[in-house]
Each structure stands twice: as C-alpha cells, then as structure tokens.
C-alpha cells in the first residue's frame, strides 16, 4: 500500500532514514528509479484512470467547481504527460555534488561549496494527482525523500500513483520510503506534519489562503509557500493590439484554474476606446465573466461588464472571471499590480523598450513577461522538468520550485594539518 497507516511521526521518521540513503545514491540509480516510474505509469495507465474515475464519482468531489474538477481529472493524455515529464527529469543534470564555488584560503585550506539535498521535503496539496508524480520525480533526482499529503478528493488517484513510485524505487534498489503518502487526515494530521522538527526539513503547502493560514498557525518547521496567483496583463499605449488580444485571452482562458492564469486586465487609457471593445468581446465569447472599474465599463462598447467590487481586485478567481481596469500610465499599472498582486507572474504588452524596462524593474513579482502570456511560469516550460509549485517568497527560492530549489549547500575544506593560531 502506498498510503501509510503509520502515525505522522513514524512516517516522517521512515522518510528521514530513506533520505540519508538517497542523499548518497548514484545518479544512475536515481535515474533507474525514474525510468521505472515512467514505464509503470504507462503500463498501469488503465489502473490509474480507474482510481481517478472513482475519485471523480465520489460524493466528496461532487461539490468541486469545474476548475477544481479539471485539476482532479486524469485522462490517457495526462498520464502519458506525467510519464514524459518523469523522463525529462531523468535527463536533467544531477544537482547533487555540483561545485558552486572553490578557492584556496590564506590558511592554505582548499574550500569548496557544494550542492547537497535538503533531506525530507513535505508537500501538502489539493486536488491535482499529477503533483504526486512531479514531486516524487524532483525529490528522487535531487536526493531527497518526500512526505506527501494530498487532498481526500484524490485519495485513490494519489494512492495508485505513489504505489507506482515506491515500486520503482524498490526495483532500482533504493528505499521505498523515499516516497511516503499520508492518509489525508484532518487538521490534527496537518498540524502533526508541520511540527516534525528534526525530521521534516522543508514543508511546501500548495493550496489556497485557507491552507496557508492553517499552516502559519502551527508550523515549527521551515515553510516555503507555493502561493496564490493574482496575475495581471497590462496593455501599454504602444502595444501591438492584435498581439495583446492573443496574450490576454491566452493568459485568462487557456487553463483558468491554475495559479499563473491572469485574473486582471489593465488597459492604458490612451488606447482604451480602441482596444477594450475588441479584447473584451474576445473574452466574453470565450465564456469569461467580466467585471470592471467605471472607465473600463465605459470603454466596453456592447460587451457586458459588471461593476467590480473592492474584493475583485485582490481575488484569485481560478475560473472564467476577470477584472478589468483602465490606467493612465505604466507607473499607474505598476502601482496597481504591486498593491493588488500576489507577486507571482505579471505581463506587459508593448513595443516600447522604455515602458518594458519600467514595468519589469518596478513590478515586485517572481516572474515578469514582456509580450508573452503569464501562463509560462511553470517548471516544465522553464526547463526544470517539473515543479513542486511556484514560490512568491524571496528566501530560499522564488518562482518555480524545481530540483535546485530542493537543495542547499555545504562547505568542504581540505587541509594538510592546519590549525588556527
């Protein structure tokens, strides 16, 4: 069974023992485990889909929004994509042992700064079964063990996926407890996981503000938040308007239930009358519910735009809803983004290098796009193979959390008998 029936402390202790073995495992052994994982995902696709169908049919999933059901749902293409993603991780350079710096000190000591695994990474996540595989692949390759606590909505799917990874680890003669899946208990289990000092080296919660608040109340282990994404697209006065329409629609519509989807469209006042009717018609025809400020509504032409509330500017809708505002300048757009955004991903569409530089420099976000959709903030798109989430924090990691973000470093000094006077 992949889902542990042990206590949280016992599970974390087992993962800690596995982490020590994995930290010194060869690249070949880790890659063998990943290749076995990819192969088993393909061979067991039907079994995985049956488990997922049972999750979707369960009464616990009936109240999920369409966006969350999309996150939960698997199909043959998504399972195949998981397998392909695991193989991409296997092909990446092993970060463990990478020499970051080297110098000879005045004392004659040869000092090297080398990359090492964190140890045990715990991830709490909601209804996205693919996260189980992404997290496992990244932690195996980076020499870490992982303790997974998924949503009860995805209990069967996560169980089937974690069982495959554990089998693959054993096949590669690596400890199966390098991947441990908790049973998805209540608040007590979450608190137990967040307080495993000495066992859990980093906790990464992936979810909404409620989960974030619950972790903040109790956590005594280091936490890196895979935070919410209230992302913006700003269309500058000197934008290519056809390009801007494509980017705005893609950023909102391509997959609205994810954290790098745009939630707010900002339009420069100089082009609002020309641009707003066309882009808002595009969005409306794509099924987007639009709310806006007074100037946006006045510029909308025949497109229906409801009045935006104060809460709408700070909302992560995670669905087909978008707020629209008209701003007077790049500086005003930057001010709006920094006041309402979550520091995730922000975009400007412009032909002006000056405006692009002003926006990119002024916006406080993990990722800034010039003439591109916010949807690219993703570990796979960034060449990381996968990601555990996107961090909007500024310490230890920012942006997509990939393999290197799951490592730290140590100093190794080699001498020939030196003692300090």
Average pLDDT rounded to a whole number, residues 340-363: 97
Answer yes or no: do 82 and 208 share one domain. yes
Answer yes or no: do 295 and 169 share one domain. no
Q: How many domains are there within the chain?
A: 2
Phi, psi torsion values for 339, nearest 5 degrees: -80, -35
Please give the pLDDT value at position 2. Answer: 55
Does residue 392 or residue 148 have the better pLDDT? 148
Check pLDDT > 70 for residue 5.
Answer: no
Does residue 420 belong to any structural domain of this protein? no
Q: How confident is the model at residue 387 (pLDDT cuts 50, 70, 90)?
A: confident
Check pLDDT > 50 for residue 361.
Answer: yes
pTM of the model: 0.85
Residues of the chain with pLDDT > 90: what percent? Answer: 83
Check pLDDT > 80 for residue 391.
Answer: yes
Please give the pLDDT value at position 3. Answer: 54
Instruction: To the nearest 10°, report the CA torsion of 204, 209, 211, 215.
Output: 70
Check pLDDT > 60 for residue 115.
Answer: yes
Give the CATH number of the domain where residue 77 resides: 3.40.605.10
Phi, psi torsion values for 145, nearest 5 degrees: -95, 160
Answer yes or no: do 236 and 219 share one domain. no
For the stretch 228-270, pLDDT in tens is 899 999 999 999 999 999 999 999 999 998 899 999 999 999 9
Please give the pLDDT value at position 185. Answer: 63
Does residue 348 belong to any structural domain of this protein? yes
Average pLDDT rounded to a whole number, residues 65-83: 91
Average pLDDT rounded to a whole number, residues 324-347: 97
Answer yes or no: do 246 and 216 share one domain. no
Check pLDDT > 60 for residue 226.
Answer: yes
Average pLDDT rounded to a whole number, residues 172-198: 90
Answer yes or no: do 27 and 97 share one domain. yes
Average pLDDT, the chain: 94
Average pLDDT rounded to a whole number, residues 65-87: 92
Query: What is the sign of the dihedral through the CA atoms of 375, 376, 379 and 380?
Result: positive
How many C-beta neighbours within 10 Å does residue 100 have?
Answer: 10
SS3 for the chain is CCECCCCHHHHHHHHHHHHHHHHCCCHHHHHHHHHHHHHHHHHCHHHHHHHHHHHHHCHHHCCCCHHHHHHHCCCHHHHHHHHHHHHHHHHCCCCCCCEEEEEECCCCCEEEEEEEECCEEEEEECCCCHHHHHHHHHHHHCCCEEEEECCHHHHHHHHHHHHHHHHHHHHCCCCHHHEEECCCCCHHHHHHHHCCCCCCCEEEEECCHHHHHHHHHHCCCCECCECCCCEEEEECCCCCHHHHHHHHHHHHHCCCCCCCCEEEEEEECCCHHHHHHHHHHHHHHCCCEEEECHHHHHCCCCCCCEECCHHHHHCCCCCCEEEEEEECCHHHHHHHHHHHCCCCEEEEECCCHHHHHHHHHHCCCCEEEECCCHHHCCCCCCCCCCCCCEECCCCCCCEECCCHHHEEEEEEEECCCCCCC
Cβ–Cβ < 8 Å for 126, 209? no
Please give the pLDDT value at position 1. Answer: 41
Answer yes or no: do 257 and 336 share one domain. yes
Does residue 383 belong to any structural domain of this protein? no
Please give the pLDDT value at position 267. Answer: 98
Average pLDDT rounded to a whole number, residues 181-205: 89
Answer yes or no: do 357 and 315 share one domain. yes
> Which range, of 3-7, 73-77, 222-226, 324-328, averages the lowest pLDDT?
3-7
Cβ–Cβ < 8 Å for 129, 155? no
Does residue 46 belong to any structural domain of this protein? yes
Cβ–Cβ < 8 Å for 128, 71? yes
Whole-number Å distance between alpha carbons of 364 and 368? 9
> What residue has token string 């087909």?
320
> What residue has token string 């973000």?
405
Please give the pLDDT value at position 184. Answer: 61
CB-side exposure of 33: number of CA atoms within 13 Å?
29
Does residue 98 belong to any structural domain of this protein? yes
Answer yes or no: do 14 and 65 share one domain. yes
Average pLDDT rounded to a whole number, residues 182-196: 84
Give the CATH number of the domain where residue 338 resides: 3.40.309.10
Does residue 2 belong to any structural domain of this protein? no
How many C-beta neighbours within 10 Å does residue 91 have?
Answer: 11
Nearest of 117, 123, 188, 118 to residue 158 by alpha carbon: 123
Does residue 421 belong to any structural domain of this protein? no
> Which range, of 222-236, 286-300, 303-317, averages the lowest pLDDT?
222-236
Nearest of 171, 224, 131 to residue 43 by alpha carbon: 171
Answer yes or no: do 81 and 164 share one domain. yes
Does residue 363 belong to any structural domain of this protein? yes
Answer yes or no: do 182 and 278 share one domain. no
β 390-391/399-400 pair status:
antiparallel
Please give the pLDDT value at position 383. Answer: 86
Please give the pLDDT value at position 59. Answer: 87
Residues of the chain with pLDDT > 70: what percent? Answer: 98
Answer yes or no: do 395 and 328 share one domain. no
Q: What residue numbers bound the domain in which 180 lies? A: 8-226+388-414
Average pLDDT rounded to a whole number, residues 155-173: 97
Cβ–Cβ < 8 Å for 174, 29? yes
Whole-number Å distance between alpha carbons of 210 and 328? 35
Answer yes or no: do 120 and 32 share one domain. yes
Please give the pLDDT value at position 407. Answer: 96
Q: How confident is the model at residue 48 (pLDDT cuts 50, 70, 90)?
A: very high
């Amino acid at each position: 069974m992949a889902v542990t029936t042990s206590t949280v402390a016992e599970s974390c202790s087992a993962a800690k023992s596995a982490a020590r073995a994995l930290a010194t495992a060869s690249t070949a052994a880790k890659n063998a485990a990943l290749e076995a994982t990819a192969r088993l995902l393909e061979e067991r696709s039907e079994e995985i889909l049956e488990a997922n169908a049972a999750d979707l049919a369960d009464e616990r999933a009936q109240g999920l929004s369409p966006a969350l059901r999309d996150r939960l749902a698997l199909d043959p293409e998504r399972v195949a994509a998981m397998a392909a993603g695991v193989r991409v991780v296997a092909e990446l350079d092993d970060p463990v042992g990478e020499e970051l710096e080297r110098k000879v000190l005045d004392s004659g000591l040869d000092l090297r700064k080398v990359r090492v695994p964190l140890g045990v990474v715990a991830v709490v996540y909601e209804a996205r079964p693919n996260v189980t595989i992404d997290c496992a692949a990244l932690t195996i390759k980076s020499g870490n063990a992982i303790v997974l606590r998924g949503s009860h909505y995805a209990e069967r799917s996560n169980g089937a996926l974690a069982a495959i990874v554990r089998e693959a680890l054993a096949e590669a003669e690596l400890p199966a407890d390098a991947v441990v899946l908790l049973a998805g208990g209540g608040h007590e289990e979450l608190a137990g996981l967040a307080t495993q000092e000495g066992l859990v080296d980093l906790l990464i919660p992936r979810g909404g503000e409620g989960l974030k608040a619950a972790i903040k109340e109790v956590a005594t282990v280091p936490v890196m938040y895979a935070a919410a994404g209230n992302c913006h697209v700003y269309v500058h006065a000197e934008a290519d308007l056809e390009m801007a329409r494509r980017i705005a629609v893609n950023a909102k519509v391509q997959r609205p239930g994810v954290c790098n989807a745009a939630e707010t469209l900002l339009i420069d006042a100089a082009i609002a009358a020309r641009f707003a009717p066309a882009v808002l018609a595009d969005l409306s025809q794509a099924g987007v519910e639009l709310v806006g400020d007074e100037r946006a509504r006045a510029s909308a032409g025949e497109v229906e735009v409801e009045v935006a509330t104060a809460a709408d500017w700070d909302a992560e809708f995670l669905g087909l809803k978008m707020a629209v505002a008209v701003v007077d300048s790049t500086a005003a757009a930057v001010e709006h983004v920094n006041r309402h955004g979550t520091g995730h991903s922000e975009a400007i569409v412009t032909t002006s290098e000056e405006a692009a530089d002003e926006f990119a420099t002024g916006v406080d976000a993990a990722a800034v796009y010039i003439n591109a959709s916010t949807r690219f903030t993703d570990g796979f798109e960034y060449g990381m193979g996968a990601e555990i989430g996107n961090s909007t924090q500024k310490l230890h990691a920012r942006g997509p959390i990939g393999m290197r973000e799951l490592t730290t470093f140590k100093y190794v000094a080699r001498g020939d008998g030196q003692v300090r006077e």
